[in-house]
Structure 1
């Protein structure tokens, strides 16, 4: 149900296009889980499987890329540089597509960003030299970065509040399902008795593009976010989509949907200026900004530093010829951790779970750095599996946090902003640092040379956990609009954060 009123004033044509009172958010949040929600999860969430496949293929195939005859003649530093190029592309893609996602809509951008990824992955498979490979990895990253911004915002706006935490954590954790597939896929592709090594790594990238095309087909059936539509003056479309969803969910669940009387009044706008978005992030919600920055920097450094070069570490220092099995075990523990722990983010709460997973995984990583010289390939993988069983759930929750604690009009850009800043600080420097440390240690055969990277990652994770413990938001089970009122929403006195009124940031309790 939505009632509208005309906007007034000289800005109407440029900014405000009307006022409506709507119950759409409450109607979406009160829905029982049904097969329709699985369509959303499969159509949108499976992209993380692609990301995991991409990253793992690069990590597993580091040795295959080094020979001049069958590979591209790359050094360990260049393997790390390729990882940094991918992450740099993801940062730029997140910011570029994130802004467009808030301006043009979720659906347009999650179709475009996946298309960019698909084309760039095909280009990677046809790389003829390191420069081509670096450029293709950069473009692939831009597509994935755009996905992070568009997908997390769309999922949160379509999934009922009581399921949001577990769904977000599990979906982001599905990255590791792709990592398992990528690890196992590289085993036959890197076996010279099975396939010519000059073609094995190229086929791996080509298969990623095939999977992306399948996801594009499913994604066509996922609707635009009704929340985005009614704020941008398209309330009739939003109402029709919600009615279709309600009818579908009622049929699939065989339940009579409860009535809801909760409404929100918003001033509709075609777009929200970047100045207002910046003010929202840095002035209206400073503590949430600190939390998101801390969480993203910690997880970005930890994952990109450790995982991008893990295969190189195994082959360089521990004489592992076939890294796929080790990487598959490591990746499986990450996915299982996110899947098993995800319900606790809705029951025990965001603050306890995020702080706990960050701090404990950071302490375990520091301990691993101390005993690194005494570890074998098996024991190092075992320690990694234990650490990242916890860290994967916490890292996934970083995206959940950024997507739910800021106003709807800024959601995609906020995800993109923190992803880009955190990943630039930790995700670009991490692979470069670890690549340099691996090269340095290789000259002396000393694996402890990379321990400093472990200690830095541990410190960042522990710091992020402490910040979350003190400044985190208890968002479990709450509607997005109650966690962060839309900028265009009107308070009872007719004011609001996007207009003449003000909105104070709630003190975390």
Structure 2
């Protein structure tokens, strides 16, 4: 029986929400770990008497690892399975973070943060395609947008932990990092409760396992609903072709426009995001605004992410992913422009709040939109590759803004940010197609033959 039709007939339920929360915790701890580096940086600069160049390297360490983690986990997710990559990357991140809390030299801290970033990048890139394969298309936009929203909790948690723990003692920064390593214990729970994606199992020919995982999910959902699920709309046998996906498949004719559009979108959003959050406090302080150094300022900017992510998550299934991305990027561009013109603390707080809100709202649409562009056999590779390319923008943004600020000034930097966000909006508007309420099987059915290696009829198998 068709796996896709069995998933499509599943209504919203407690089991789906449980999967969302469990997966969302991964994003929360990933973001908390990334944000924590910025908060501990002043402590380690003083401890190891670091130069500005060394401090800059430490600030970029997690993103360096993030790039390689996202790139490799996408490939591995299509080869060995989504669930295995989720658990392995969590272990890597937790162990490296734990070890970094006891680092005795800045070089050791630097390399351990790269390894931790490899884990966070890998996990973050695989969670969206994983959950998208388990949720019916009617609710998928809401769930993947909300999954992305869990990142905001990590940033707020990092700010709160930093405020209360780091000033406690000279080793407060070590304690704060130690706390961010605690999700290692999630692995034990995840191993027991997370299903492997039945879509992925079927796509690689592991049909019996796909049936078993699908049946377990259906039993859990029927228990949550208190009633039997309706019969699937399509009961005909499903032809499954054992395929081999690869990175190069992303550049085949059926996907090249989508890949270009997604890479431009991810680069522009992540470039603007990390440029904004990395440099805003420093640039404002240089302009004479003391508010930028206050705890309240950081909390307000981070709290804006919560309504940003979750408003976009709700709109994903109402107006569509493409409209969410284009609208939020357009509003983020306007907000960034207004921020460049702000000349009072109140105006800075308001425009900074809305720039943060709309920027992350676009990310909620982007994380939902990306896995929907590819069939199962390359969905993880496509998502991971786009995420990895976006991290190049995240790495370049702090360096580029640091170089351009003396030339362009405060206004020029944020006008540049406005332009980058506008490019991402235009690329999506011109090259993107709407995927609202579109079953994932429609993507696969229309494109699978362009992904697979040459096959003969003997390689086809059926699920009955």
User: Normalised by the size of structure 1, how large is the TM-score?
Assistant: 0.82
1:459 to 412, 415, 419: 419
In structure 2, what is the equivalent of residue 242 of structure 1?
A: 214
Distance 2:41 2:289 in 1: 15
Structure 1 residues 476 and 91: alpha-carbon distance in aligned structure 2, compared to 1, 3 A threshold:
same
Alpha-carbon deviation of 1:357? 0.4
Say which structure is richer in helix: 2
1:349 to 320, 344, 347: 320
Classify the secondary structure of the residue corresponding to 2:240: strand
2:156 to 159, 175, 180: 180
> 2:350 & 2:57 partners in 1: Cα distance?
27
Choose the corresponding residue for 2:29, options 50, 69, 78: 50
Residue 168 (structure 1) aligned with residue 144 (structure 2): yes
Q: Give the alignment of 1:33-182 within 5 angstroms.
A: 33-67=12-46, 71-182=47-158
CA contact (8 A) 1:405 1:484 kept: no
Contact 2:312–2:362 at 8 Å: present in 1 too? no
**SS of the residue 2:222 aligns to:** helix
Alpha-carbon distance, 1:158 to partner: 1.0
Of the three residues 242, 248, 255, the one matched with 1:268 is 242
SS of the counterpart of 1:204? helix
Deviation at 1:49, TM superposition (A): 0.8
Q: 1:293 aligns with which of 263, 271, 280?
A: 263
In 1: Cα distance, 2:336 partner to 2:285 partner: 21
Distance 2:292 2:348 in 1: 16
Structure 2 unaligned blocks of 5 or more: 456-464
Question: What CA deviation, in whole Å up to 9, does each residue of 1:75-111 have, x standing for no partner?
Answer: 5554443232211211111112221111011111111
Question: Which range moved further: 234-243 or 466-475?
Answer: 466-475
User: TM-score normalized by structure 2?
Assistant: 0.90
Decide whether the 8 Å contact of 1:86 with 1:140 is kept in 2.
yes
Is 1:408 matched with 2:376?
Answer: yes
How far apart are residue 348 of structure 1 and its match? 0.8
Shift of 1:205: 0.8
Deviations 1:191-220 (A, max 9, x none): 3xxx11x2111111110001x124323322
Q: Does 1:24 align with 2:14?
A: no
Q: Please give the per-residue CA displacement for 1:164-208, whole angstroms capped at 9, x wherever unaligned.
A: 1111112112111111111111112243xxx11x21111111100
Pairwise mapping of residues 372-451 of structure 1 onto structure 2 (< 5 A)? 374-376=343-345, 379-424=347-392, 426-435=393-402, 449-451=409-411
Q: 1:308 to 1:190 in 2, by over 3 A?
A: same
Residue number in structure 2 paired with 1:12: none
Instruction: For 1:400 and 1:139, locate their aligned partners in 2 and report how far apart those are by CA, in whole Å.
Output: 27
- Give the secondary structure class of the aligned counterpart of 1:265: strand
- 4+ residue runs over 6 A deviation: none
Shift of 1:345: 1.0
Distance 1:399 1:79 in 2: 31
Give the count of matched residue pairs. 451
DSSP-derived class of the 2:124 partner: helix
Question: Match for 1:305 among 267, 271, 275?
Answer: 275
- Range with greater deviation from structure 2 (105-114 or 46-55): 46-55
1:381–1:53 distance in 2 versus 1, CA, 3 Å = farther
> Deviation at 1:72?
3.2
1:479 maps to what in 2? 439
How far apart, CA to CA, are the structure 1 residues paired with 2:410 and 2:38? 16
Matched-pair contact (CA < 8 Å) for 1:80–1:434? no
Structure 2 CA distance for aligned equivalents of residues 313 and 189 of structure 1: 26
Counterpart of 1:342 in 2: which secondary structure?
A: helix
Please tell me the root mean square deviation across aligned C-alpha atoms, in Å: 2.4
- Per-residue CA distance 1:105-130 (angstroms, 9 max, x = gap): 11111110011100111122123333
What SS does the aligned partner of 2:241 have?
Answer: strand
What displacement does 1:50 show? 1.2
- Cα distance in 2, alignment partners of residues 78 and 318 from structure 1: 27
